[in-house]
Amino acid sequence: MPKLINTRTRIADLGKPRVIVIGGGFGGLEVVKGLRKFKVQVVLFDKHNHHTFQPLLYQVATSGLETNSIVAPFRKMFGSYQDFYFRLGEVKRINAEENSIETSIGSVKYDYLVIATGAVTNFYGLHEVEKLASSMKNIVDATKLRNKIIRQLEYALLTEDPEVMNSLMDFVIVGGGPTGVELSGALTELKKNVFPNDYKELDMRAMDIHLIEASPRLLNGMSHQAGEKALQFLTEMGVKVHLNTAVKSYDGYEILLSTGETLISKSLIWAAGVKGNPVEGIDPQVIARGNRLQVDEFNRVKGYNNIFAIGDVALMAGDLKSPSGHPMMAPPAQQQGRLLAKNLKNLIVNKPLKPFRYFDKGSMATIGRNKAVVDMKGIRFQGFFAWYVWMFVHLMSIVGFRNKVFTFFSWMWNYFTFDRSNRLIIGRNEEKISQEELNKQPM
Amino acid sequence: MPKLINTRTRIADLGKPRVIVIGGGFGGLEVVKGLRKFKVQVVLFDKHNHHTFQPLLYQVATSGLETNSIVAPFRKMFGSYQDFYFRLGEVKRINAEENSIETSIGSVKYDYLVIATGAVTNFYGLHEVEKLASSMKNIVDATKLRNKIIRQLEYALLTEDPEVMNSLMDFVIVGGGPTGVELSGALTELKKNVFPNDYKELDMRAMDIHLIEASPRLLNGMSHQAGEKALQFLTEMGVKVHLNTAVKSYDGYEILLSTGETLISKSLIWAAGVKGNPVEGIDPQVIARGNRLQVDEFNRVKGYNNIFAIGDVALMAGDLKSPSGHPMMAPPAQQQGRLLAKNLKNLIVNKPLKPFRYFDKGSMATIGRNKAVVDMKGIRFQGFFAWYVWMFVHLMSIVGFRNKVFTFFSWMWNYFTFDRSNRLIIGRNEEKISQEELNKQPM
């Protein structure tokens, strides 16, 4: 039986400059799009065969959207592009001296390299939390969390011990940023509209949703007004918000808080922060605050000529005059990606490069049905209209017309029926529900 | 940290006769529905929290439909039922002398037991095939197969050895029944309409789809005319159909056929047959041909008073005067389920039971765009109209209004765009694509 020849990636040499983009997130996509019809070969590496619309992962986790509505296959997006190559594989290392990358499927030379590897969850050194908590950075995480939420309620039916029952029915979300706020809102709607009918045997008043935030307010990246309103909305909906509170430890059951208080839950959901996800081989001196790569105003990685970084993994200090760089969200990544594509063209035709300036279009978060908060240049509003704007903006941002249509229908369905039809446990471990499983921590 | 009290399932004793239904497939659902508002307690056990519409699994596997369109959560379906209990768990054993079942979450007593556990793939003792081939009996299988089909093409990009490339690009489907026919048709449409644009680097003419059938014709359960037409459609589409041919062995790479011929493929898809999936504890003497439980004309398992079996797992010989019983498809299961619900009511109120008579509405299979074959009482037709009828009947059969709407939109989308948007690799093993993985058999 012959073996695969896999020592090389078989990416054709077109005799054109080769731009390798690592990561097809919001930033990477814009680089690929911007270089279309230009005299370069573009190679996109990603360990998934699809782009993921991360801002809506929380809706997959809470049964509001099906998985496929928020992902789009790269080959579908770029099927009509000339000189574009996609490779499914993980980039292991950059060998800058040789202008090459080592990947899980072989090594490839580049002329220009764009690191667009985004961010990973930051557990701030809490190793037990990392091992035992749920997080939500990709579609597999989101689906696992969905499975877990539903499974906990199925398990809650099997006990009469009130403490054990609470440990299964209570959910603790750490991090009062958009993800934490949106997730606690969506869980509350499940609790209110779906679970009482699904689990008539359970007293749903026993289900508590806690939101833990270390700082004195919610939605730190937004206006004070937005944070206050989000707090009000969540509190009215019954979420127990703990401000000025951090998680000290977690054993899969007991959560020790910085206030000395203890919460009991088998479901700790970590949305407390992210950190850059740089690739090995870059000079460690360049890795700064938040594990991000220091870049100049052209997104060029400090100390390198032909290596660029954009989005969450890049730290450009000068632009915002803030040492923490741009917010780790889609818009800076997209804007940097778009400009970098232009600058790569300029570089190749020997034109001067344009420095990056972030255009802050504002930000928004949704809390629940008819409830959202929006900050836009000078305007701030909350409530039904904000919720409508949130939906519109997200719908327009989802990649692919079909995904837009399906998401729109799902939202209309959910709105008018109060239902969440995707409350499914799907996955390989679903068949493992056994006596031992039930007693094991965490589930 | 307290442990769960999981020695019992906490199913309330309502002082009413308790009917336990094992399995929420087509048959099980009808029993639950039929007993609504009757003076019994109904308990449904299933190892999934959702019903799966198995006839469309092949469309999930070939990227035509998203997972969630063909599954429906039981709690959503039966949320409004009184005295209905769902438990997520696997039934391990029936203790008939004690009128109880042992499950993964504890044991429960029943007054009446309905075994509706359906069928599993029949590998006819070919253990290597069982280990190395793909099959398609549930949503996880279908998603794994989807991942695999796409991954093989991604891998084919990495080799220059024509034999290895063919082993990745060729697909061998075993079994010329509806599943095999539908799957080979759908794969051919991927090959024709989607892959040429996705994999411009590959010569798609090198992709062969083989369909292996042991008997002299396709679609054995249907008319001769339907089998002939399916063969003609598939041949025209380029599928290599091997009739009178069986698989002798498979090592993950080479497939030895009964004709002495050898095919090379890393993707052997087994759709050659199913067998009943009875629960342990039933007298082995009752297990007959096809691993099915012998039942009388009231679906009562031979030798038991209060244990019934319906659908694929039941063998009722008398009705059709055929020793092989009813076809292992949805309609007999549904009809038996419906009648059994009535007979259980009759039994409880001491009325005489009605014997089962199968009403054969006919059967159908789709081969591809505008191509299907339909046999109905006395009428047989093929082609566009048959395809239209196939779609209509399947759409009406999918559980849940929302699933109907989403499936309808997917089909319209696929029809007019020729696209298959769900060509996604999603799953935990997606990140394992490594040097070792590439060389490992099978992938």
The chain-wide mean pLDDT, for chain A, equals 93
**Of residues B4, B88, B254, nearest to A159 (C-beta):** B4
pLDDT surpasses 80 at B436: no
Q: Residue A315: beta bridge partners?
A: A294
Nearest CA in chain A to B265: A1
pLDDT at A147 over 70: yes
pLDDT in tens, A44-84: 999 999 999 999 999 999 999 999 999 999 999 999 999 99
Say which residues have a Cβ less than 8 Å from residue B61's Cβ, sequence separation at least 6: B136, B142, B143, B145, B146, B149, B183, B186
Closest Cα in chain B, distance from residue A321 (Å): 38
User: What CA–CA distance (Å, rounded) separates A43 from B15?
Assistant: 68
Q: Is the pLDDT of residue B440 over 90?
A: no
A402–B76 C-beta distance less than 8 A: no
Among B79, B154, B199, beta carbon nearest to A198? B79
Determine, for residues A158 and B6 on separate chains, whether the beta-carbon distance falls below 8 Å: yes
Taking only the tens place, the pLDDT of each residue in B332-387 is 999 999 999 999 999 999 999 999 999 998 999 999 999 999 999 889 999 999 99
Average pLDDT over residues A211-233: 97
Domain A18-47+89-121+275-348 has CATH 3.50.50.60: yes
Res A318: pLDDT = 79
Instruction: Nearest by CB to B431, from A3, A90, A431: name it.
Output: A90
Q: Report helix angle B178-189 to B224-237, nearest 10.
A: 20
Are residues B430 and A402, on separate chains, in Cβ contact within 8 Å?
A: no
pLDDT digits (tens, 9 = 90+) for B59-85: 999 999 999 999 999 999 999 999 999
Q: B318 falls in which pLDDT band (50, 70, 90)?
A: confident
Contacts of B437 in chain A (CB under 8 A): 104
Of A438-442, B95-99, B310-314, give the lowest mean pLDDT range. Answer: A438-442
Please provide the average confidence, as pLDDT, over all residues in chain B.
93
Averaged pLDDT, B14-36: 97
Q: Which residue does chain A place closest to B103, by CA atoms?
A: A434
Q: Cβ B105–A421 below 8 Å, yes or no?
A: no
Q: How many CB pairs under 8 A join A and B?
A: 224
- Condensed to tens digits (0 to 9), the pLDDT of residues B265-280 reads 999 999 999 999 999 9
State whether B430 and A89 contact (CB < 8 Å): no
Mutate to test the interface with A, among B57, B141, B149, B158 (most CBs of A within 10 A): B158
Question: A351-355, B190-194, B314-318: lowest mean pLDDT where?
Answer: B314-318
Q: Which residues of chain B does CATH 3.50.50.100 include?
A: 127-272+369-439
CB B290 within 8 A of CB B278: no
| Residue intervals in chain B for CATH 3.50.50.60 | 18-47+89-121+275-348
The pLDDT value given to residue A304: 98
**Domain B127-272+369-439, what architecture?**
3-Layer(bba) Sandwich (3.50)
Note whether A73 contacts B424, CB cutoff 8 Å: yes
Q: Which residues of chain A lie closer than 8 angstroms to B423, CB-CB?
A: 49, 73, 75-76
H or E element, residue A172: strand A171-174
pLDDT band (50, 70, 90) for residue A406: very high
Interval B230-239: pLDDT, tens: 999 999 999 9
Q: Using CA atoms, how far apart are residues A180 and A234, in angstroms rounded to an integer?
A: 11
- Considering chain B, what percentage of its residues have pLDDT values greater than 70? 94
CB contact under 8 A, B159 and A431: no
Shortest CA distance to A296 belongs to which of A317, A324, A279? A317
**What pLDDT, on a 0 to 100 scale, did the predictor assign at position B234?**
98
> Which among B2, B140, B161 has CB closest to A161?
B2
Q: Cβ–Cβ of B66/A71 closer than 8 Å? A: no
**pLDDT at position A443:** 36
Whether A18 has a pLDDT exceeding 80, the answer reads yes
